[in-house]
Amino acid sequence: MIQDSHIWTEKYRPKNFKEVKGQEKIVEKVEAFVKNKNMPNLLFAGPAGIGKTTLALVAAKALFGESWKQNFLELNASDDRGIDVVRHTIKDFARTKAMGDVPFKIIYLDECDSLTKEAQQALRRTMEAFTNTTRFILSCNFSSKIIDPIQSRCAVFRFKPLEEKETEKVIDSIAKQESLILEGKAKKTLCELSEGDVRRVINILQSCAATTKKISEDLLYEMSAIARPKEVKEVLHLAVKGDFLKAREKLLDIMLHHGLSGLDIVKQIQKEIWDLDISDEAKIKLTDKCGEIEFRMVEGSDEFIQLEALLANFVKC
């Protein structure tokens, strides 16, 4: 079934507990639930691409073997068609008992933090109604957005971005299977660029591999839509020196060249502030400003105008 055109995040998705990197304590507990064929409802919290869906799938496969597909339902809580459709699908699925010797089916509900409080109340009632036949694994980025009555009905697991040495294991294994060579400091650079998000690691590797098997740092920066820190630094130096026009020109150039969004740029600018040769007080002010600009962008205001305003602050400091 796996062809070369297959996306690597699926091709290299761990198939058993051992293949899941990092998250050791969580993996250990979930493995124990599976072994005992007894599991509470679970809440998986944490940022994107670090193994939440993967671990749920691994658990389902370990519990149900061949028939996992009949006993595992994956849904997105933020389904465009509304939470009612989600509830209907859940009801249909949970109406029948699990096959085999496991006394429950599993429903994996992604993006639960996108649900309103009311929808979460409804979800909580649904969870209660089907407790005899079903276990829920809820997934979210921020557990603080999940109402207490749901949290208290779940064992909460906090997933963390992978540490560098764990990320390296993923890179090494894929590089070996795809005969890729990571030149110079490329491996370290990839770890840094991905910030512990394995999906990002794998996607960047796959886009690089489409052009060449020899992966350089340059190619990584190009493919990851991230400007080199050096380039962003240059923009900031120009601005701090007072050359607003050159800074603005260079910034536009970087954005177009790398296809970066305003948000990508603000994040990088914010990282570079502390290395600038300006007073601590100015650094604090600029960091604060980055937060404000980021908020405005998220709210939908014109990205380039916001970036120019941010640059103006560097000139003033």
Ligand X SMILES: Nc1ncnc2c1ncn2[C@@H]1O[C@H](COP(=O)(O)OP(=O)(O)OP(=O)(O)O)[C@@H](O)[C@H]1O
Q: What is the CA radius of gyration of the chain?
A: 23
Nearer to ligand X, 154 or 170 (CB): 170
For 95-120, b where at least 16 C-beta lie within 10 A, e where not — what string?
Answer: eeebeeebebbbbbbbebbebeeebb
- The string of DSSP codes covering 65-123 is GGGHHHHEEEEETT-TT-HHHHHHHHHHHHTSPPSTT-S-EEEEEE-GGGS-HHHHHHH
Using the minimum distance from each CB to ligand X, give the nearer residue, 1 or 245. Answer: 1
Q: Map the footprint of ligand X across residues 144-203, applying CB under 6 A.
A: 170, 198-199, 202
- Look at residue 194 and give the partner it binds from ligand X, Mg ion, none, a contact being a CB closer than 5 to 8 Å depending on partner kind: none
Tell me which of 41, 53, 216, 313 binds ligand X, using CB under 6 A: 53
What is the helix (H) or strand (E) element at residue 27, kind and residue range?
helix 24-35
Site for ligand X in 268-307 (CB under 6 A): none
Contact 135, 42 (CB under 8 A): yes
State in angstroms the smallest separation of the CB of 110 from Mg ion.
5
Q: Which is nearer to ligand X, 54 or 126 (CB)?
A: 54
> Distance between CA 189 and CA 192 in Å, rounded?
5
Scanning the structure block, which residue is given the tokens 């701090």?
Answer: 240
Token duo for residue 143: 């557990």
Binding mask 13-52 for ligand X (x = CB under 6 A): xx-----xxxx------------------------xxxxx
Of 63 and 307, which has the nearer Cβ to ligand X?
63
Q: How far is CA 99 from CA 21, 33, 55, 58, 94, in A?
A: 30, 18, 21, 18, 12
**What is the total count of residues that contact ligand X (CB under 6 A)?**
20
Burial level of 220, CB count in 10 A (0-12/13-18/19+)? buried
Cβ proximity to ligand X: between 76 and 151 the closer is: 76
* The entry of ligand X, Mg ion, none that residue 20 binds, CB within 5 to 8 Å by partner kind: ligand X
Residues 194-223 that bind Mg ion (CB under 5 A): none
Pair of tokens at residue 197: 């998000």
The distance of closest approach from Cβ of residue 72 to Mg ion in the complex, given in angstroms and rounded to an integer, is 14
Distance, in Å, from the CA atom of 307 to the CA atom of 289, rounded to the nearest integer, reads: 11
Among 9, 17, 47, 53, binds Mg ion (CB under 5 A): 53
Is there binding between residue 67 and Mg ion (CB under 5 A)? Answer: no
Closer CB to ligand X, residue 49 or residue 262? 49
Binding region for ligand X (CB under 6 A): 9, 12-14, 20-23, 48-54, 110, 170, 198-199, 202
